[in-house]
Structure 1
Amino acid sequence: MGVAYSVGEVDHLYTFFVQWSPEIYTKGKGKKKHRQPRFFIREKHQNRYLVVKKKTVAVINKLLSNPVNPAAKTWEIIALKESKRRQSLCSSLDSVEEEPEYLEEAEDALPVLCDHSQLLGDQHLEKLAAHMPARTQGYPWQLVYSTAIHGSSLKTIYRNTASLDSPVLLVIKDMHNKVFGAFSSDPFKISKYCYGTGETFLFSFNPDFQIYRWSGENSYFVSGNLESLQIGGGGGGFALWLDTDLYHGSSFSCPTFRNASLSTHEDFIIQDLEVWTVQNGDNR
């Protein structure tokens, strides 16, 4: 249940956020810290800004997403890229908002995770973010499935992604503690035919980071049924194959991505698995 604030209390949110997280900055104050995030809170009418730390953005986002909360009408969390896009649409110099000095520094920030990940650390996020499509950059990642939370079931993945209209990131850890997976341009679903686009790619931290993009040789990106999920194909095996219980998996070289096996062994046992979706303005 969300927390509601009276109109009078809205004016105190600005002070509240500063006191709650002293490492955030208001417009024109303070100097650059070690790392700046991609998100900031903007007071719509007063043009005041607060940089959002990675650990606090999810909590503040839940607060401001409550439609009955007056603060939601006054404050908003927007991405750096969205701020720049809005400014580029302004035709009058008088209407152009001055951009806070620290916003240029936010470009190097890690993606914001709205939920805790058992598999992704900062070193993983940094590598993956550099290769994500431009349409996903600067937006938070939300956990939609985890074996640690939802159990091991491919059907649950399909159920949890059924309402999505956004790309998904599949992350796997096998029994040899190798982390690998795939970015799919489309959410996972049951389909008679392959789906997806050339944005889809494979990755592996095994132990060095490797990425395998679409080769252009075929379009066997993703396909799924109740028995298994398959990514890549056209050769002797799939680039990534998962069984219905999310227990057994396999990874072979295939023409779609011209990849090496993502795991240490072509056949592997799944230890943990997560599916993330990248929220953007079109998916809210």
Structure 2
Amino acid sequence: MGVAYSVGEVDHLYTFFVEWTPDIYNKGQKKRCKSCYLKKKNDPSTLKEKDLTAASKHLSKPASKKKTAKNWEIITVKESKRRLSLCSSVESEVDENEYEEGDEEFPVLSDQSQLLNEFQLQKLAAHMPARTQGYPWNLVYSTAIHGSSLKTLYRNMAGLDSPVLLVIKDIHKKVFGAFSSDPFKVSKYCYGTGETFLFSFNPDFQHYTWSGENSYFVSGNWDSLQIGGGGGGFALWLDADLYHGASFSCPTFHNAPLSTDEDFIVQDVEVWTVQN
């Protein structure tokens, strides 16, 4: 069934198509003067917004018997800009989500860790400072390779100028440790920055950042290595043989004890560095 149009509607549609597609509708016709197309503002035959709406409704109806008919509509310039802006916003959001997913890449290790699984590695990598992101982790010290000696641990870090990750496993199979902004060394004074933090897996991940209460981040001598302090006990303490250890709550990190017992026996130790 066809669609019936009034004479006024046909005239309006024809005027609209002539104005917007003169290269099609002016073929074979004499060139008309501009006055034929320019209407006065108060002229009732001028194509107004309501006429555009009516034309859009008629033209958007597909012909019932023509399978090849195309569905299209007439929209204003303002609506066109709005739709383009919406598309750009959606594309930008998709790109941003892809970028965020790309940021969660699995860290690259120079050697396989004997103490950390994939879940634990990803948790730790997500909490490390931005300056360490995207760089490989290199194994600096391991009791399984280098033996149990704090002196060897210090010696392996001589000349190193990058943050380190200390990982400890006690005899109860609990994994915990600390990220230090500076490599471990013998020093009369405490060193490090607020990037230093503590962690434990019990089995849920616990993360303790700097409280700002004091700056007792790391200190070391030939007899022991200490991390955190100021309240009568260290957040983490290891002896010269890397066999006995201790962990207490302290003001530096406001942490809970990291090990199962405040005094613990070390099973294994690994120290990783993230060099940029």
TM-score under structure 1 length normalisation = 0.62
Deviation at 1:107, TM superposition (A): 2.0
* Superimposed CA distance per residue, residues 130-172 of structure 1 (whole angstroms, 9 cap, x where no aligned partner): 1000000111000000000000000001000111100000000
Alignment partner, residue 141 of structure 1:
137
Q: CA RMSD in A?
A: 1.4
Q: Paired residue for 2:194, among 194, 198, 207?
A: 198
Q: Paired residue for 1:213, among 209, 221, 228?
A: 209
Specify every segment of 5 or more residues in structure 2 that has no aligned partner in the other structure, as ranges: 1-97
Alignment partner, residue 107 of structure 1:
103
Using the alignment, how far apart are the partners of 2:213 and 2:99 within structure 1?
Answer: 41
Q: Paired residue for 1:125, among 109, 121, 144?
A: 121
Evaluate the alpha carbon distance shift between residue 165 and residue 220 of structure 1 in structure 2; reply closer, same or farther with a 3 A threshold.
same
Alignment partner, residue 112 of structure 2:
116
Question: By percentage of residues, which structure has more helix?
Answer: 2
Deviation at 1:108, TM superposition (A): 2.0
Could you say which structure has the larger radius of gyration? 2
Evaluate the alpha carbon distance shift between residue 104 and residue 240 of structure 1 in structure 2; reply closer, same or farther with a 3 A threshold.
closer
Deviation at 1:106, TM superposition (A): 3.1
- Determine whether 1:277 maps to 2:264: no
* Superimposed CA distance per residue, residues 171-227 of structure 1 (whole angstroms, 9 cap, x where no aligned partner): 000000000000000000000000000000000001110000000000000000000
Question: By percentage of residues, which structure has more strand?
Answer: 1
One-letter code of the match for 2:153?
I
One-letter code of the match for 1:146?
S
- Determine whether 1:232 maps to 2:244: no
Alignment partner, residue 69 of structure 1:
none
- Determine whether 1:166 maps to 2:162: yes
Partner-residue secondary structure (3-state), 1:270: strand
Using the alignment, how far apart are the partners of 1:105 and 1:210 within structure 2?
Answer: 23
Using the alignment, how far apart are the partners of 1:177 and 1:108 within structure 2?
Answer: 27
Partner-residue secondary structure (3-state), 1:193: coil
One-letter code of the match for 1:275?
V
> Is the CA contact (8 Å cut-off) linking 2:104 and 2:126 kept in structure 1?
no
- Determine whether 1:154 maps to 2:150: yes
